[in-house]
């Protein structure tokens, strides 16, 4: 599993108008090719009266599945530009459909490439991108006498804190990048003079929104 990667924040759409043609960029996170195809077919049904529903998707940790479809536009002027935006932004497990309602003005090959590229990038910026980081849950169990020091140090260190359980002792749930687990545990041992019980929980991806320029 990848330690971290970028993908679309959520499913959504965004419309722009270019030379009187409406371009609606639809974006969705899709983790399999089947999901991507279902999404494309769903948009085509919703916009069956559109002039074109062009699409592209990139699936897999190593981007091994890449497909682009022009849906009637001149070859290479729609699907490939959409895919190129996904590749440039390095968005994994992402599918895009750009719906076009023709406005009566022909754009030419160069104009179409720019239009489909812009529609894709604008939709992605509008919807948002997240960085998914593979985290390991670390449970730190300490006596009440260590609560103040430990919690203060954890917060100042910028670690991602989850729930805190207050029972006969206190257990902090902390999410740590998998590559930093060993050094984090060593830090806790030193910080608590080896008075903490440290156990490892499950791994999961934690998402953080990325600011796009």
The domain that holds 14 is classified in CATH as 3.30.230.30
CATH code: domain of residue 188: 3.30.70.240
Contact 51, 115 (CB under 8 A): no
Q: Are residues 60 and 163 in the same domain?
A: no
Rounded CA-CA distance 31/13 in Å is 19
pLDDT at 37: 98
DSSP SS3 for 115: helix
Domain check: are 10 and 113 in the same one? yes
- Give the pLDDT confidence of 54-100 residue by residue, as tens digits: 999 999 999 999 999 999 999 999 999 999 999 999 999 999 999 99
State how far the Cα of 86 lies from the Cα of 61, in Å rounded to an integer.
14
Q: Answer for the pair 26, 41: CB distance below 8 angstroms, yes or no.
A: no
User: What pLDDT was estimated at residue 159?
Assistant: 86
Average pLDDT, 10 consecutive residues per value, the chain (213 residues)? 94 96 98 97 97 97 95 96 97 98 94 97 97 96 92 89 92 94 95 94 93 80
Cα–Cα distance list, 79 to 63, 173, 187 (Å): 16, 45, 50
User: Residue 182 is part of which domain span?
Assistant: 135-206
What domain count does the chain have? 2
Specify if 211 maps to a domain. no
* 141 and 121 in a common domain: no
* Statement to judge: residues 95 and 188 lie in one domain: no
H or E stretch at 25: strand 21-29
Burial 107-138 (b: 16+ CB within 10 A, else e): beeeebbebbbbbbbbbbeebebbebbbbbbb
- At 64 the pLDDT is 94
The verdict on residue 29 lying in a domain is yes
**pTM for the structure as a whole:** 0.87
Kindly state whether residue 213 falls inside one of the protein's structural domains.
no
d(CA 128, CA 104): 31
Predicted local distance difference test score (pLDDT) of residue 212: 81
Assigned domain for 140 exists = yes
């Amino acid at each position: 599993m990848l330690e971290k990667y970028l993908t679309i924040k959520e499913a959504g759409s965004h419309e722009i108008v270019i030379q009187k043609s409406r371009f609606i960029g639809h974006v969705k996170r899709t983790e399999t090719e089947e999901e991507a195809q279902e999404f494309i077919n769903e948009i085509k049904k919703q916009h069956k009266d559109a002039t074109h529903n062009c699409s592209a998707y990139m699936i897999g940790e190593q981007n091994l599945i890449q497909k682009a479809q022009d849906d009637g536009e001149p070859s290479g002027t729609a699907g490939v530009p959409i895919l190129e935006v996904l590749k440039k932004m390095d968005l994994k497990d992402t599918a895009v459909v750009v719906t076009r309602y023709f406005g009566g003005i022909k754009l030419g090959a160069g104009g179409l490439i720019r239009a489909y590229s812009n529609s894709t990038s604008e939709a992605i910026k509008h919807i948002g991108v997240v960085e998914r980081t593979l985290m390991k849950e670390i449970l730190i169990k300490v006596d009440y006498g260590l609560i103040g020091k430990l919690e203060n140090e954890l917060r100042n260190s910028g670690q991602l804190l989850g729930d805190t359980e207050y029972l006969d002792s206190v257990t902090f749930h902390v999410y740590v990048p998998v590559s930093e687990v060993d050094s984090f545990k060593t830090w806790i041992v030193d910080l608590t003079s080896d008075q903490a019980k440290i156990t490892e929980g499950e791994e999961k991806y934690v998402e953080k929104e990325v600011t796009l320029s």
